[in-house]
Copies of this chain bind each other. A is one copy, B any other.
Amino acid sequence: MNSKQDSDKPEIILTGDRATGPLHLGHYVGSLKQRVALQAIHEQTILVADMQGLTDNAHNPKKVSSNILNVVADYLAVGINPSITTICLQSKLPALAELTMYYSNLVSISRLERNPTVKSEIQHKGFERSIPAGFLTYPISQAADITGFNATLVPVGDDQLPMLEQTNEIVRKVNSLAGRIVLNECRPLLSNASRLPSTDGKNKMSKSMDNAINLGATEKEISAAVKSMYTDPNHLRVEDSGNVEGNIVFTYLDAFHPDENYISQLKKHYQRGGLGDGTTKKILEECLQDMLRPIRVRRSEFLSDKAQLIDILIKGSQVSRDKTEKVLFDVKDIFGLNIF
């Protein structure tokens, strides 16, 4: 009975996105759908991470600033409800920068360099030794974000698990310095959805690669994206048997089509031959158009009233400012710095 009560206890959830582009179907499957469900049960905060977005975009800051409100509109369009989910802007929470400074003294450079997530990102971005200090140290800033809200549960992909390990290491150091529990260790909430591949089936989804379908994509963009989608390169004639594994059209149908049985039949038909890619793409396009039409309409309505979006961020950031200042106070107390 006790354990039942415990598992029913609302968690403090901190999640968010770098504001470096509009959100796409990968975000929808990987996190947004989950957040819509979580907000009803838990205390959820979504951080629009503009400062983190700048860690590798300082010389192109418009990429960040121009996307802040797009991301908020994306949230609202998919059903994030700002009256139960707090949506806030990272750069409006100075306590997070201050916590980052204090935590930086507890983490060594070599520890940061061992972080597998950062390591692979550095390689991917071709930074080598010219890596900006802010980029190498962003796991510390992320620890400040998570602990600044004293989050207990953080939704992540499994590639982000090293970030939570780093956060919990800092938490343990802070608690050990304090001689008592000041900060919560957080647990990961792994999404059971597998990562949605890009439409070209090769690279990570990104706007610059033109291989992602944004939540605000127009009818034409959706149509073009589906038409260009990677299928089975050996499926040359309609009567040939085709491969559904690695066939992006079927991966997307699995992720988005509401009728599982129908897709299962469709796969069998494709495998035995007689089903053309034109037909499967038509089915997928119809499904995506139906799903994205209302999202696009709502998104565009929200974006037509920027004052309302800003108001949501102001209110969310005010609530978050109070929460994070409280944690900062507790951490500064450990260092004996609350002398006035």
Contact = CB atoms under 8 A, between A and B. Distances in A.
A57 B334 CA distance: 13
A140 B107 CA distance: 17
Contacts of A98: 91, 94, 97
Nearest to A337: B91
Interface stretch (A131-139, A186-194, A274-282, A291-299): A131-139
Interface in A90-143: 91-92, 94-95, 97-98, 100-102, 104-110, 112, 129-137, 140-141
Contact of A132 (B66, B105, B131): B105
Contact of A94 (B54, B68, B94): B94
A65 B340 CA distance: 12
B91 A94 contact: no
Interface string A273-313: 00000000000000000000000000000000000001001
A332 interface: yes
Given A54-B102, A108-B131, A133-B112, A177 B59 contact: yes
A55 interface: yes
Given A59-B177, A64-B335, A337-B91, A129 B109 contact: yes
B95 A107 contact: no
A192 B135 CA distance: 40
How many copies the complex holds: the figure is: 2
Q: Interface extent on A, as a size class? A: 35 or more
Contact of A104 (B50, B110, B133, B313): B133
Interface in A124-167: 129-137, 140-141
Interface in A48-74: 50-51, 54-59, 61-62, 64-66, 68-69
A133 B59 CA distance: 23
Contact of A133 (B62, B89, B132, B140): B140
A241 to B, nearest CB: 52
A95 B133 CA distance: 19
Contacts of A100: 97, 101
Interface in A303-340: 310, 313-314, 332, 334-337, 339-340
Contacts of A92: 340
A101 B97 contact: yes
Nearest to A51: B101
Given A66-B336, A310-B340, A336-B65, A108 B132 contact: yes
Contact of A129 (B110, B141, B336): B110
Nearest to A58: B105
Contacts of A137: 104, 133, 137
Nearest to A129: B110
A64 B112 contact: no
A141 B98 CA distance: 11
B108 A177 contact: no
12 contacts: A50-B337, A68-B339, A94-B94, A97-B97, A100-B101, A101-B141, A105-B135, A107-B132, A108-B131, A108-B133, A109-B131, A313-B339
Which 4 A-B pairs rank lowest in CB-CB distance, beginning with the nearest?
A: A65-B336, A104-B134, A58-B105, A94-B94
Given A56-B105, A58-B335, 7 more contacts: A61-B335, A61-B337, A64-B335, A65-B337, A105-B134, A108-B129, A137-B137
